[in-house]
Structure 1
Amino acid sequence: MPIIDPRSGPSYGTMEPDMEHEREQLLRDESEVEGQTTGQSTPDDIQEGVQKIEAINLTWTAKSLMVAYVSIFLMAFCTSLEGQTVMSLSAYATSAFSKHSLISTVLVIQNVVNAVIKPPMAKVADVFGRFEAFCLSILIYVLGYIQMAGSTNVQTYASAQIFYSAGSTGLQILQQVFIADSSDLLNRAFLALLPEFPFLVTVWLGPTIAGAVLRTSSWRWGYGMWAVILPASFLPLALTLLFNQRKAQRLNLIKKRTKRHTSFVGILRRTWYDLDVGGLVLLSAAVTLILVPLTLAATAKNGWKNAGILVMMVLGVACLCLLPLWESNKKLAPKPLLSLHLLKQKTALAGCALAFWYFMAFYFSVQPYLYSYLQVVQGYDVATAGRVTQTFAFTSTIAAFSVSLLIKYTRRYRIYVTIGCVVYMTGLVLMLTCRGEGASHLQILGTQVIVGIGGGLVNVPVQLGVQASASHQEVAAATAMFLTSMEMGGAVGAAISGAVWSSAIPHKLLQYLPEETKGQAGDIFGKLTTALSYPMGSPTRIAINRAYQETMHRLLTLAVIATLPLIPLSLIMVNYKLDKMGYGNSEPQGHLVPAEPEQSSEDGHSKRT
């Protein structure tokens, strides 16, 4: 039973040796698919990028599709290894500028960009094409690497996160969109894990590479080397997509759109509406102006009384209130950035909300300060602290792989979401109660394993449920909405944890440090290397450890609180019967077939094709 099958998705035709017969067959298949996907849609109703990928889907052979998936895996391996490596380097990069506490601000910037870039990148893929969107993401990613490697101050380093995060999250959403394009719902749970499989290896290699880079070179080389490695891994997918796109053009499978505007102004206007630039600006401004001040207020002059902080917060809330009004206005946003109407369906709404709270708890507990805590309080070296921190990625990948197989053969997904929520909450409670100074390595590692298993059981099934709520035209938007909700939760979590850390640690250091080192409180707070320079058991190190310990306890308490909505939200999601679902109905929700018979009248049954 092959997983990658060019005929398994909703849009594939079968390939014949004779070219003329192939063309006729593909045209017939494309006509059927077009009618199935859009009902009365015309080529102008479907955005050009979606037309392209539906045409490309008709030209796949088993060999070319295999090459594409191998390239997806290579890119995922590179980005995964890079992520595990630079995660251990970020504390040293910010410490080099005496700004260790700004790790949370850097993460907020990353999460803000991660949150706001997913919808526009999905729109770029829908408007211009998957190949074009992949190329744009790779280019932005490389620019981020180069700028971080060459940064001379924390401002430059932080601004580089915009390019770095935009490219990284662009690849993430595009990989998931490509997998959604080229697989059916039953196989998709497994294939969606393809970008995650490298974590099984890189989680152990990354911290080791980071330690070697710090010993033999500098953290700058740890960023710069990926500017060459990543584009090389993308080459097979680029060539495969380009080849099949040209093949579809030769077979006239890509219909030419009606030319409505030929002037430059007309092109700009169409692009403005296609990409919903107004919605993008409002979303970016709202997220940035609300979350970034949270981490800056603790260290800004006059704190929350600072006029600049208050003005940013007010403007952010105003933009957030304007966003749904803009997105729901057909004149301002005829092709909205966020498909907010999907949130009228309880499965999509509950799934996005669940992703938000789940990732918020993650950024209270595992990121961003557990790594520093393990080095300072537990005395772990760079590689060991990195491996413990990344145990989450390792165990969640194994759990997600297991649940994807269970979904394939049970054809249900919701039960695994609920079980995952219970396990995730249990792991965080154990982190709160069993982790402390002097805790055994087994206790610390065991709690990370449990949290990781819970995260793996939650993530993939929830994404699958949200994707199932969308037509093919909107599957990219639905995926982007789910991932955006997750990143928004991460951004809020990073912002709040940064505010807690930046306010609690300096206060506690001044409270606990012996008189002879109270003057060093600012340096200890700002540089991880300074905190580590005091030997274990010395009065100063005892005070530092106590400050870290109490602050981490506060963050873990917030993490447990953030998980309280997870189980109720999982029960709200409809337990769809996945083998009865697929693209193919012109009704927005009619293609969904719930497992419970009593709900069928509410959501409707699909028209089987």
Structure 2
Amino acid sequence: MEQPRASIEATDQEAYDRKIASETNSIEEFTQEGVIKAEKARAVWGLRGSIALWIGVGLSSFMYTLDNGTNYQWGSYATTQFNNYPAYAAIQCASSILLALGKPLFAKIMDSLGRAEAYCFSLFFYLLGYIIAAASPDITALGAGLVIWVIGFSGLQIANQIIIADFTTLRWRGLVQSLTSAWYFILFWANGKITQQLVAPGGPGWRWGYGIYALCYIPALGPIILTLLWGQYRAKKLGLVEQPRAAAQRRSRLSGAWKWIQESDLIGLFWLGASITLIFLPLVLAGGSYATLSWQSPTIPAMMVIGGAVALPIFIYWELKRALFPIIPFRLLKNRTVLAACLISFFDFISFYLTYAQLYGFVAATTNWSLSDITYYTNCQSLCLTFFALLWGAVAIVLKFRYKWTLTAALCVRLIGIGLMFYAREHNSTAALVMTQVIQGAGGGVAAIASQVGSQGAVPHQDVAVATAVVLLSAELGNVVGSAAAGAIWRSALPEQLTNALADVGFTNTTYITMQVGNPLLAQTSFPDLSDPIREAIHSGYSSTMRLMLIPAIVLSVIPIIASVFMRDFHLVDLQNVVEAKDLQGNKVAGGDLETIESGKV
């Protein structure tokens, strides 16, 4: 006899409720101090505290965007003044790895110590790095300063993301996260002017730039640090945060330090850092845009074997068997939404950098655009990313829709944009070139914000920081792999493709070909007429090389679409997450009722 449908639904709901209760109770038992501080601070500071917090987020994101748009140019100019520009490649290699490793490091600091404390660490690395860089007497000191700076830079990026996740509901989170990037609409133009004025003859110079930024970061991060500290202090005064017992207060500093090491999982961070460095640094050293070694060097396979066969297994063993508060909890690896978001970020970034890493050189050689026009063009996709992410966030507030279908659709749009590049690479049509970036930006902007909100909403508050770090770490590693692959293809294929294309029109000047590979703009001055057979041959060589990067890019861009199908779907409602069904103060408001949450009635 068939069981009544209502009975089946009730049984399924009861099973789900028991599962949620079991997982939530287990997680709440081990909720770390930083998470508790954030929830209780939100409960006590009221309207003025909230206003102060969002002012702090706005100031810090402004400084982050300004810094991000100028630091690279200053470093390039500084190393040139030291007559050692090739050394900048080594600095960028180290920075790319530390940029990735900073994500889990600061996530653990935010969970084990607190949100305000993590901002303090970020500010410390910013100030120390820029002071060293500003006072650097040689390239070694400059490199040390910039490497220290990137730790603070990485920390501020993830800290802002986690604070937004702490203090916004799923309904508002997409818009607020997008607003932190809205400064780009102003600064993408201003950054170039600032750099130009700073390093111009008679200008203040790059040292003053680093020094001024060091001073600017204090008022930029000060408001958010003070607001968070005040909220934590008031929550303790009101008894919302448990005070340490007398026995705990008498605990030795050594045991207290060991407890912090365990909660931060510093041993796990070490092995994660060793694994990532040994596996991915060779890709940067041999294949990236800043390559300093060749693939034939014995150092490359040796590092990758040690990383993959020694460091990575040790890291996995430690995380599964020994770590009390692992960097990547096993429950996250079982969470299909987080795992899918990581796959989306990793492969989407590989695909993106395969099409973008050498875009500047391609456009410079195949068009007669000015330097400023090329710069605006290469920024076009970033502007569209920001605009469409803002649009998606605003619509989410009004409609409270299910996010998953928008994510899948956005990734399909992005795939279309990459496919359009096959046409645009062979033609000098400005409209076609621009549309490739607009379409990719539209899809990429929605996909980035939707996958981030989806992964944060599918985990309890205790895991938000770690889940965010894992997704951002996946993106950074995709950046490393994509840039390395693009650099390797460009350097190995472009000379051959140019030689073959120019030989077809009777041009065999190998010296010029070598110069053209090193300076894409040379074609504009040497052969300004786009209809010149030699210029057309140059275009053909660059187009053939770009095709070699577009093929893997379009294939890999299918993987995020498939991964998005496996993400858990839910309405973007007024909850911190859909696992615990809690509000921003940590109070249950839906009792874990899946039907209520997923219907959008919360």
TM-score normalized by structure 2? Answer: 0.81
**Equivalent residues of 2:385, 2:444 under 8 A apart:** yes
In the TM superposition, what are the counterparts of 1:29-44 in structure 2 within 5 Å?
A: 39=25
Range that drifts further, 104-113 or 337-346: 104-113
Counterpart-to-counterpart distance in 2, 1:464 and 1:326: 29
**Equivalent residues of 2:364, 2:521 under 8 A apart:** no
Q: 1:83 deviation in Å?
A: 1.8
Q: 1:301 deviation in Å?
A: 9.5
Q: 1:230 deviation in Å?
A: 2.5
Q: 1:414 deviation in Å?
A: 0.6
Match status 1:253 vs 2:210: no
Match status 1:74 vs 2:62: no
- Among residues 300, 315, 322, which one is paired with 1:309 in the alignment? 300
Counterpart-to-counterpart distance in 1, 2:56 and 2:443: 29
In the TM superposition, what are the counterparts of 1:225-374 in structure 2 within 5 Å?
A: 225-258=212-245, 259=247, 262-297=251-286, 303-318=294-309, 319-329=311-321, 332-366=322-356, 368-374=357-363
Counterpart-to-counterpart distance in 1, 2:40 and 2:293: 59
2:562 matched residue in structure 1: 568
**Equivalent residues of 1:108, 1:494 under 8 A apart:** no
Match status 1:451 vs 2:440: yes
Question: SS in structure 2 opposite 1:255?
Answer: coil
1:410 matched residue in structure 2: 400
Match status 1:579 vs 2:570: no
Which whole-Å deviations, capped at 9, do the CAs of 1:91-113 have from their partners, x for residues lacking one?
66677788888888766544422
Range that drifts further, 416-425 or 211-220: 211-220
Match status 1:518 vs 2:505: no
Counterpart-to-counterpart distance in 1, 2:293 and 2:228: 54
Which whole-Å deviations, capped at 9, do the CAs of 1:141-173 have from their partners, x for residues lacking one?
233444555667777666555323321221111
Give 1:205's aligned amino acid. Answer: A
Question: SS in structure 2 opposite 1:239?
Answer: helix
In the TM superposition, what are the counterparts of 1:34-183 in structure 2 within 5 Å?
A: 39=25, 45-86=30-71, 109-147=94-132, 160-183=145-168
Which whole-Å deviations, capped at 9, do the CAs of 1:21-53 have from their partners, x for residues lacking one?
xxxxxxxxxxxxxx99964888x8332222222
CA 1:532/1:221 → structure 2, altered by over 3 Å: closer, same or farther? farther
Counterpart-to-counterpart distance in 1, 2:486 and 2:434: 22
TM-score normalized by structure 1? Answer: 0.80
Give 2:441's aligned amino acid. Answer: G
- Among residues 404, 409, 413, which one is paired with 1:423 in the alignment? 413
**Equivalent residues of 1:99, 1:154 under 8 A apart:** yes
CA 1:458/1:130 → structure 2, altered by over 3 Å: closer, same or farther? same
Q: 1:420 deviation in Å?
A: 0.6
2:488 matched residue in structure 1: 499
Counterpart-to-counterpart distance in 2, 1:247 and 1:103: 47
Quote the sequence identity (%).
29
1:18 matched residue in structure 2: none
**Equivalent residues of 2:347, 2:559 under 8 A apart:** yes
Counterpart-to-counterpart distance in 1, 2:167 and 2:351: 32
CA 1:40/1:201 → structure 2, altered by over 3 Å: closer, same or farther? same
Q: 1:385 deviation in Å?
A: 2.2
Counterpart-to-counterpart distance in 1, 2:320 and 2:130: 37
**Equivalent residues of 2:351, 2:552 under 8 A apart:** yes
Q: 1:124 deviation in Å?
A: 0.4
Q: 1:335 deviation in Å?
A: 0.6
- Among residues 422, 430, 440, which one is paired with 1:432 in the alignment? 422
Question: SS in structure 1 opposite 2:402?
Answer: coil
**Equivalent residues of 2:269, 2:327 under 8 A apart:** yes
Counterpart-to-counterpart distance in 2, 1:148 and 1:542: 45
Which whole-Å deviations, capped at 9, do the CAs of 1:290-314 have from their partners, x for residues lacking one?
2221233369899433221121111
Counterpart-to-counterpart distance in 1, 2:556 and 2:199: 36
CA 1:74/1:581 → structure 2, altered by over 3 Å: closer, same or farther? closer
Counterpart-to-counterpart distance in 1, 2:49 and 2:241: 19
Counterpart-to-counterpart distance in 2, 1:91 and 1:525: 20
Q: 1:185 deviation in Å?
A: 1.6
Range that drifts further, 249-258 or 511-520: 511-520
Counterpart-to-counterpart distance in 1, 2:342 and 2:81: 38
For structure 1, which runs of at least 5 residues remain unmatched after alignment?
1-34
CA 1:122/1:289 → structure 2, altered by over 3 Å: closer, same or farther? same
Give 1:431's aligned amino acid. Answer: M
CA 1:181/1:562 → structure 2, altered by over 3 Å: closer, same or farther? same
Which whole-Å deviations, capped at 9, do the CAs of 1:393-437 have from their partners, x for residues lacking one?
21111111111122232331011101110111111111232135x
Question: SS in structure 2 opposite 1:328?
Answer: helix
Match status 1:484 vs 2:473: yes
**Equivalent residues of 2:271, 2:312 under 8 A apart:** yes
1:460 matched residue in structure 2: 449
Give 2:437's aligned amino acid. Answer: Q
Counterpart-to-counterpart distance in 1, 2:594 and 2:474: 24
